Chains A and B, each alone.
Chain A
């Protein structure tokens, strides 16, 4: 048929792929000392895939046994016969970073971490909570109240106070508490989840449910922002420096995606706020790798 001979535009791509060879890999030297490598290959579905990598070469010299050096020159064979120099991406990948530090009390540390966010929050929540009767305010369950049959439950004011006791101790100051009060004031109107559970008493309580749950809380507690960090810094070094003041739960060092160099700021979360305060005082102005660190408490993410 004539239609068959005529080339259908929908098949265009497929035909092109089969007919043309892969373009040769390109290497571009960037101004900042990195190299961009662009490679083409066919992926599992037979489609052409382009991989762009930006790499910085760091030469690291090591003296090895001559036999080891000789083995490095061996030609590849078997299923790897067609692989180029260096690790092939279909067999070798780099996993996520694992922090492994042997310690005699690692078991304790691990347990702290597992219960850290949730269990701790629950504990805080229940810390000042007492059993309180809705009828007489006595320390027993309402159902057990001796005045159950004779008195009606006392109104909203008392209920609000009880709620305040339930609310978690959170440093989120007057702002949310005030709005929380307004929300609770108009009973029945919609209160966004973030403001729920806020007390009418204004005791400074105001943490309701929040998006991102545990992370939000952790950050509020004891996170330091460290700026003016050397671009050669490593997370481990920061961890070592700050661990002197107490248990560090998280170290985040912002790094450039392409070059892997530090961007110059980091966040350090402590398990205990007291430690964070101490660290903030001591480390602000500390000289680290030819730069002077600036350490302050991280501002809450808005």
Chain B
């Protein structure tokens, strides 16, 4: 496969998101604009300007009408996807590290940083998915993380729970309506930060990535750790592929140590693991720095990775990727096909 290199940012990438149909790609970096790209050919649709600081996170609503972004300038902003127009700004006391729409796009959660005497919080905002509507200023709910700050968070299926990953390596489950804490389970090594949390297609389970060099597949309902994928480097991001039962992990040595290592040693590769068998099945190299974010195309045709080197690399898989199956999988498919007839 020939990756498409997108060089729309001058600084390290922080997050990449595909929209629901997988035709658009949004990227944020530590420079101060968001880029929107066509995923199939890497053409840039446009850029969104207005933030005054590094942008940590972006998310797009299910209808690709609006996007939300969270930034180190202590704001969450809402943009119109089509024109790049700024629709709304919410101010917070500290930086916003993560935003995510729920399944129908009516609610948005934001994770704010613990700093300057303020505790880390998870806030929930009501959103009207309409570019002309007046968005409300009010925060519907605020969850305060007094033990360990949340680094990532997301909405489970039916917006029933809010799942958060913490700096101390634990994962919590909150009620999606009241904000009550149900569970807090230490899934990763103590004080090894959880760096990413991404959902499967129906949001019944999710994958975490952690600095403790592992990534785990966890169910949303009871926070049961179903699978563990171990790598040999701190992980920054993990995603679940569609169509094929794989997961993609991205990581690499911490950005500050990078200049002392060569690209080969630094392990700046996207790692593919089989989701069920937990076995590594291949790597894709290309970045000059650690991978900060990986995202799987919702159509299952490819994936994109963003690195500390400022590049987004969009990959469209070859036939060999789709043909790959474990022996047991092949047998099962053959059996099912035979029965079908």
Contacts and interface: CB of A to CB of B under 8 A. Distances in A.
B is bound to A: yes
Contacts of A194: none
A236 B43 contact: no
B84 A78 contact: yes
B21 A97 contact: no
A299 interface: no
B65 to A, nearest CB: 10
A72 B24 CA distance: 10
Given A100-B317, A103-B281, A106-B281, A91 B46 contact: no
B33 interface: yes
B332 interface: no
B279 A71 contact: no
Which of A78, A81, A96, A110 gathers the greatest number of chain B CB atoms within 10 Å? A78
Contact of A81 (B46, B285, B315): B46
A43 interface: no
Contacts of B45: 74, 76-77, 80
Nearest to B320: A101
A64 B8 CA distance: 26
Which of B24, B38, B326 gathers the greatest number of chain A CB atoms within 10 Å? B38
A248 to B, nearest CB: 13
A189 interface: no
Interface residues of A, number: 35
Nearest to B319: A236
A80 B284 CA distance: 29
A276 B1 CA distance: 26
A92 B84 contact: no
A102 B246 contact: yes
B180 interface: no
Contacts of A65: 21
A290 to B, nearest CB: 21
A67 B43 contact: no
A236 B320 contact: yes
A212 interface: no
The prevalent SS among residues of A at the interface is loop
A98 interface: yes
B7 A93 contact: yes
Given A98-B286, A104-B279, A78 B313 contact: no
Contacts of A92: 4-7, 41-44
B21 A98 contact: no
A130 to B, nearest CB: 35
A94 interface: yes
Interface in B182-217: none
A188 interface: no
A76 B81 CA distance: 11
A77 B321 CA distance: 35
Interface stretch (A4-12, A82-90, A166-174): A82-90
Nearest to B22: A68
Nearest to A97: B2
Given A68-B21, A87-B42, A102-B320, A96 B2 contact: yes
Contacts of B324: 101-103
B41 A87 contact: yes
A98 B47 contact: no
B280 interface: yes
Contact of A100 (B1, B23, B280, B326): B1
Contacts of B283: 106, 110
B43 A86 contact: yes
A57 to B, nearest CB: 14
Contact of A71 (B23, B33, B313): B23
A80 B44 CA distance: 7
A19 interface: no
Contacts of B91: none
B82 interface: yes
B3 A104 contact: no
A72 B326 contact: no
Nearest to A93: B5
Contacts of A20: none
Given A71-B23, A106-B283, A77 B46 contact: yes
A115 interface: no
Given A80-B46, A91-B8, A102 B83 contact: no
Contacts of A91: 6-8, 42, 44
Contact of B33 (A72, A79, A90, A106): A79
Which of A79, A83, A97 gathers the greatest number of chain B CB atoms within 10 Å? A79
B130 interface: no
Nearest to A107: B280
Given A68-B23, A76-B44, A104-B326, A94 B4 contact: yes
Which of A90, A101, A103 gathers the greatest number of chain B CB atoms within 10 Å? A101
B49 interface: yes
A23 interface: no
A215 B321 CA distance: 29
Nearest to A100: B284
Contacts of B23: 64, 68, 71-72
7 contacts: A74-B82, A78-B84, A86-B43, A97-B2, A102-B282, A110-B283, A236-B320
Q: Give me the 3 closest cross-chain CB pairs, A-B, nearest first.
A: A78-B47, A77-B46, A92-B42
Interface of B: 1-8, 21, 23-24, 33, 38, 41-49, 64, 82-84, 246, 272, 279-286, 313, 315, 317-321, 324, 326
Given A81-B46, A91-B44, 5 more contacts: A72-B23, A78-B48, A79-B47, A83-B43, A87-B44
